[in-house]
Amino acid sequence: MFSPYKWLWRQELLPIPVLMFVLSQGGGSLIAQAIANNNQGPSVSVGATKTSAAVTESYIDYLKAFELAETGSKPAALRLVAESLRLQPGNLVASRFAFRLLAEQRANTALRLQGHTGVITSASYSPDGTKILTTSKDHTARVWDARTGVQLTPSLDHDDEVVSGVFSSDSKQIATGTEDGKVTVWDASTSKRLATSMQFIGSAWSVSFSPDGKIVAASSDEGKARTWDAATGKPLSPLIEYHEAAYHVSFSSDGKALLIATGDNFADLRDPRTGVRIRQLRRGNDIYSAQFSPDNKRIVTACADSTAEIWDAQNGTPIGSVMSHGFGVGSAEFNSDASLIVTASKDHAVRIWSTSSDKLTVPPLQHPAPVGRASFSLDSKLVATVAGDKAVRLWDTSTGEQIQLPTLLSDGPPYFSFSPDGLSLLIAGGSSGWVIDLPPNEEAPSWVADLLDFASTLNNFDHTMQPDLARIEAIRVKVNSSKDTDRWTLFGKWYFTDITQRPISPWSHVSLENYVNLLIAKGDRPSLEYAKSLSRPFPSWLTKVNSALAKLPPEQPPVKKSED
């Protein structure tokens, strides 16, 4: 695990006696890092009130719980989060972490997307939230039901690795780009090819639809970009050429401008139909990403020169101060109302900035590896990040704290996408995808602390910790009889539902039994093996799975490569 101790000494952010105290008390790297970020909650001076002391102690309990959960000591982590919530009932960060711990302890699965045979190269929700699109090195793109994880249409087959994909704004079309520079438009409901003659030079790293879905644009690693008629596949703009890579292409929300991030040290604004340049936004190094604000009045760029910058989209002049990192900035994105910007850097940090003051709103979000991308949830309350350690992390934007353990992927870089309804986070890596439910935005009610204590006894070998079953039964009756529809009440009802009827996760619409049946209906070996792992406590389910497995042809041993 990454240790910030050397970084702490170098930055001299802590007096040495304080640092030694933290280390001597076994506070762990997470606590040291949080204090280094000057994010240690309200300070406690001589004569401080009991309230401020409780808030500080609550924060420390949360940090220790996070550290213990990372090392696998979940029962102790559950108890510490319970204590954190009792000390500070309004601790939203601890509330969110409590949700994640309880959901993982109660559920034995999450919605999974299985079917690709190669590494996934992109993953995203449709704008209406009903579908998920994944692209892969296995020469396919696939469309999935966002509620059930079932593949909705036949695979979108290509002649080469599929490196990019996007839905149109009405969710009815899909555009894909391949390693050999082919761009194709598909019907999202039928997988029928709608336009196929779009070809240009290089790997089609980025594809984008105009807001009305009538134009598709693409850019490549060979420094090429172009637009086509999405219905016919005929070129609209001439081939746009740069000396270096064209990293990303996107449209303004009114469709009047095309924005291209380039390795030629500028972001390029072009007319989508003619390709005529409108203006350049020039920096001193590669522009890795460029994005319009929702009202099209501003543009934010991320640059290899360790900066991000806001520009006036009408005249191309910089606005406000440069947002600086210690190394190249890989991405910079506005939130939904352009009041905030999040930047991700190779300096291992993510920073959240106020666009009105040009200042950080929380201390830097520290990572153990260079960070490639950071994005806001639709309500701006959360930020998801992906770093070079192949982990996706989720952060509270009001405090800068992590609210769930990192999701580590062993094969291929991870991708993520927030669902449009704000309930879920899609994570994809290797050849699979997962849908993870997001916590409520409200503070946890008082009964959650008791539920945490109860949950800590369910997988704990310490027999001195006995659950208060009468208290838990009282909570169950209270929650199940409640007419409230807030998220925490709905979560409580989910938690107390029998496993055979309970949805596979708090906001899911699929029960475990129905999910197993969906996997059986899919019928391929990976789905059946996964169904088998979920069915072990249920003999009747297991019988159905084994019967389906028996009908499959025997597995062929892998072909050994000949040695030269």
Sequential DSSP letters for 211-237: TTSSEEEEE-TTSEEEEEETTT--B-S
Q: Is the dihedral of CA 523, 141, 151, 421 positive or negative?
A: positive
CB 236 within 8 A of CB 273: yes
Diameter of the chain measured on Cα atoms:
77
| Tokens representing residue 427 in the block | 């994570």
Give the whole-angstrom CA distance, residue 41 versus residue 87: 13
Residue 534 inside a domain? The answer is yes
Q: What is the dihedral of CA 280, 284, 289, 291, to 10 degrees?
A: -40
Smallest CA-to-CA distance from 283 within 268, 298, 295, 270 is with 268
Residue 280 inside a domain? The answer is no
CB count in 10 Å sphere of residue 483: 5
| Long-range pairs for 495-502: beta carbons < 8 A, 24 or more residues apart | 495/102, 495/106, 495/451, 499/537, 500/538, 502/106, 502/107
Looking at residue 555, what is its pLDDT?
Answer: 78
| Tokens representing residue 203 in the block | 């790997």
Query: Do the bridges between strand 131-136 and strand 140-145 make them parallel or antiparallel, or are there none, so unpaired?
Result: antiparallel
- pLDDT less than 50: residues of the chain: 1-48, 563-564
Full residue range of the structural domain in which residue 524 is found: 512-550
Give the whole-angstrom CA distance, residue 84 versus residue 69: 14
Residue 87 inside a domain? The answer is no
CB 263 within 8 A of CB 244: yes
CB count in 10 Å sphere of residue 357: 10
Residue 259 inside a domain? The answer is no
| Count of structural domains within the chain | 1
CB 208 within 8 A of CB 236: no
Give the whole-angstrom CA distance, residue 142 versus residue 13: 49
CB 235 within 8 A of CB 249: no
Residue 544 inside a domain? The answer is yes
Looking at residue 18, what is its pLDDT?
Answer: 31
Residue 540 inside a domain? The answer is yes
CA 139 centroid distance within chain:
24
DSSP state of 204: -
Residue 227 inside a domain? The answer is no
Report the SS3 class of residue 487: helix
Q: What is the DSSP string of 467-536?
A: --HHHHHHHHHHHHH----SHHHHHHHHHHS-TTTSBSSTT-S-BHHHHHHHHHHH--HHHHHHHHHHHT
CB 139 within 8 A of CB 431: no
Contacts of 447 (CB under 8 A, 6+ apart): 475, 478, 479, 492
Smallest CA-to-CA distance from 171 within 122, 231, 125, 126 is with 126
Residue 176 inside a domain? The answer is no
CB 269 within 8 A of CB 275: no
Give the whole-angstrom CA distance, residue 186 versus residue 125: 16
CB 249 within 8 A of CB 208: yes
CB 97 within 8 A of CB 105: no
Query: Do the bridges between strand 415-418 and strand 407-408 make them parallel or antiparallel, or are there none, so unpaired?
Result: unpaired
Provide the residue type at 427 as one letter: I
CB 247 within 8 A of CB 206: yes
Q: Model pTM? A: 0.87
Give the whole-angstrom CA distance, residue 447 versus residue 441: 17
User: What are φ and ψ of residue 400, in 5° steps?
Assistant: 80, 15
How many residues are given for the chain? 564
